[in-house]
Structure formats: C-alpha cells, structure tokens
Amino acid sequence: MYHFIIIGAGVGGCTLFKELNEKYPNKKILLLEMGDRRIRYNSTGSEVQILYITALGGSGLGAVGNAMRIDLRDIGIRDREIYEEIERELNVRVVPDSHINERSRYLFRYRFKRTPKFIDFNRCSSCGMCARKLCPYKWTPLRFLNMSNPYSKVIPNFYVSSIVKERDIFKVEGYQLLTGRKVTFQGEKVIVCGGGINSPRVLSSILDNEHLGKNLFVDIFLTVGGVLKNCNLDRSVPMALYKRYDRFLLSPHYSLHLYRAIKEEKRDVSSGDIYGIMVKIGDEGKGFVEGNKVYKGVTERDKRILSKGIKKASHILEDMGIDRIYRTVLRGSHPGGTCAMGKVVDKNFETEVEDLYVCDASVFPESPGLPPILGIVAMGKKLGGIL
C-alpha cells in the first residue's frame, strides 16, 4: 500500500515526487512512467502535428531550456516568490553575449530580449542539440528523481490501463511494457501527471465528466526562414532571444524541416546556411482527446494571429537579407487544457473523486502562449504543499 501514487514522470510528476519525498521522508511514494530514460517523440493529430515525449522527465527532456514566467492567476498562484525559488533551484540565467548567434544580434534592433534558460552557460558548447539529446549542462526533471528515500519507488516502462476506487483505496491497474506482466498497485491518494494527451486517457476509466479531454490547445507554431550563408544557427543555442507581440511570440529557431524543404530546391545549401524564426501562438482550446483519437484544428482566430506572426517574421528576415521565405507545416508542442481547472479539477487540483488529483499542463484553462515548464514546476510545488 502506497501513500501516494503519481502517474506520469513529466515535469509535474517529477516535481511532485521531489516535493512529497522532502515533505514526507517516511511515506511510501510510487511514481509510474510509460517511458524510460530515452527521448521518444510521439506525433499525433491531423491539421496540426502535435509533438510530445514519452520518457522519465517527459517533454522536459527535449525542452530547449526556456524558463519563462507564465501568468498562473487563473489557477490560483499569485505569489511571485515561488518563481524566484524555482529560478534559484534551476539556476536560471538569461543567455549571455557569448552564446548569442552573431546574425541573431540583428534582432536587438527589433527589441528582442535575451531568453531566460536553465542552462549552465559556463559549460554549454552551443551545439544546438538541446531538443535532440540529453545534456548534463541543461536542467531536466530527471534531477528531481535523485531521491534517497528508501520508501519511494520509480517504475519506468509501465502502462496504466485503469484507476478504480473501492471505499477509500485506489487500485491502479496496468502492465509492464517490457514483459507484459499485469500489476495492480494500491494507494491512498493518486495524482495523474500524464500531460495534455495522456491524462484524460488515464482518467477516463474513473471520471464521468463531460469536460474531460475537451479544450485541447497545443501552442501552435511554425518556422519561417531562408538562406543566410554561414549564419550557423544550427550550432547555436535555440531560441536564445525572443519577443512577445499581441498573442504571438517570435524567436530565432533552426528547423531541420525547414532545411530539408530548402535543400530540395537548393542542393548546394548546407545546414549552416539556414536561418529561421519561430512563430508561436497561444491557440484556442478547440481540440479534444477521446481514447486514441486526438484532434486539433486551426480556428479562424488562430489563422489571423498566425498570419500576423508570419508577416512580422518575414519582414525581419527580409531586412536581414533573405530574399526568399520558406515555412514549415503547423506543429504543436505543449498540449494542455484537457483537464481544465474549474471544469475537471478544482482550485486544489482535485477531481470530483476525492483524493484523485491532476498536476500538469492539462489543468490550464487556456494556453499561456509561452513555454510552460516553470509554471508546471510551480503547480507541482503548490500541490505538494496541499497534499
């Protein structure tokens, strides 16, 4: 019997694991995760290609280190001190001059800001591989799993098929992905941290809530760019600068998809000749997750904002000397909203089933339009204080 069972070892799950271990060193805490320490990208959706990672550490493993504060007043977090605490813990720093791409310095003319990141710039080599490989110089949620509590346990490669509550005890049922062996764990409290796609899937076995799985947003983005000889953006810190406009964000971004598209027409182009700017919007929560089906379309409002962002980015790129502008397909990288606070969970992250909680991006009522990692860590700390 466990005191706490956490389902999902993404940013929220790892934060809770750490907070609960520190708060209750003598209680039994179980963390279940479908992945392991390998980065495995999942792609789903139709109109918008939705990307997320299955792994210990979740999508935090493939994050490029962005540490932006998001407004959490809608979920009851108003204390600025919690962000200050997190920034100290994750050693957040803005990107220094030494790690800003030479061509990207042009963006200062447009009042771009240095991006705060949880990267050790004294050791970072600017390899540009933040999203594709593990790096010891970038914080990841894996660091929160380094607990010495003998009562706690982390089980990777475990698929949760259902949650059942009998009287005051939860039964979390599933099986080991490597062996197929079925296992049932019992616990007093369960916290689901599977993310915007998988949390509603797990909860559908126990909740009968009309809002569950609805309101899906994915922070729609694309990259526009072209040929800028020897710019070497591919070997630079990703998204080192950024600028927020009305409902969209621009940031320098090397895209392998953009390179491949340009390479088809210009055979003599190398990856170091490609310069791109990411256009990211806070999209409307008009998608849904129903079992294995995931749908996220692009609303008319989304199209208008994307058009403004593409126009602004294209103008900047033309000023930099790029004569032809290409762009990638629409993708989404921060799925959330499917267990929205006020609809699926209350202000304490609890569902209609007592002692069953949710703590991940799925509880956001709407897209924050910014990288959410610091916000999710803040939520984990708040729920850790409640439990």
Domain boundaries, the chain: 2-38+54-85+135-213+336-386, 93-129+216-332
* Fold of the CATH domain 2-38+54-85+135-213+336-386: FAD/NAD(P)-binding domain (3.50.50)
pLDDT range class, residue 258, cuts 50, 70, 90: very high
State mean pLDDT over 298-318. 97
Strand partners, 172: 163, 185
Helix or strand (DSSP H, E) at 381: helix 373-386
DSSP string, 15-67: HHHHHHHHH-TTS-EEEE-SS-SS-EEEEE-SSSEEEEEESTTGGGGS---B-
pLDDT reading at 78 higher than 80 = no
Range scoring the smallest mean pLDDT among 32-46, 211-225, 264-278, 301-315: 32-46
52, 59 contact by CB (below 8 A): yes
Residue 312, pLDDT score: 98
pLDDT reading at 251 higher than 80 = yes
What is the torsional sign of CA 71, 74, 75, 80? positive
pLDDT reading at 81 higher than 90 = no
Helix or strand (DSSP H, E) at 252: strand 248-252
For strand 248-252 and strand 356-358, is the pairing parallel, antiparallel, or unpaired? Answer: unpaired
Using CA atoms, how far residue 165 sits from 158, 185, 260, in Å, is: 20, 12, 50
pLDDT reading at 146 higher than 90 = no
Q: Give the C-alpha separation, 64 to 152, whole Å.
A: 30
- Residue 378 sits at the vertex; the CA angle it makes with 60 and 193, to the nearest 5 degrees, is 55
pLDDT > 90 fraction of the chain, expressed in percent and rounded: 85
pLDDT in tens, 12-48: 999 999 999 999 999 999 999 999 988 888 888 668 8
pLDDT range class, residue 328, cuts 50, 70, 90: very high
Residue 231, pLDDT score: 97
pLDDT in tens, 357-376: 999 999 999 999 899 999 99
117, 63 contact by CB (below 8 A): no
Range scoring the smallest mean pLDDT among 123-137, 167-181, 191-205: 123-137
Averaged pLDDT of the chain: 94
The SS3 assignment for 43 reads strand
The pTM of the full predicted model, rounded to 2 decimals, is 0.95
pLDDT reading at 129 higher than 90 = no
372, 365 contact by CB (below 8 A): no
pLDDT reading at 298 higher than 90 = yes
Residue 86, pLDDT score: 96
Phi, psi of 341 (to 5 degrees): -65, 135
Q: Give the C-alpha separation, 282 to 117, whole Å.
A: 20
Give the number of C-alpha atoms closer than 13 A to the C-alpha of residue 94, restricted to the C-beta side: 8
Residue 69, pLDDT score: 93
pLDDT range class, residue 131, cuts 50, 70, 90: confident
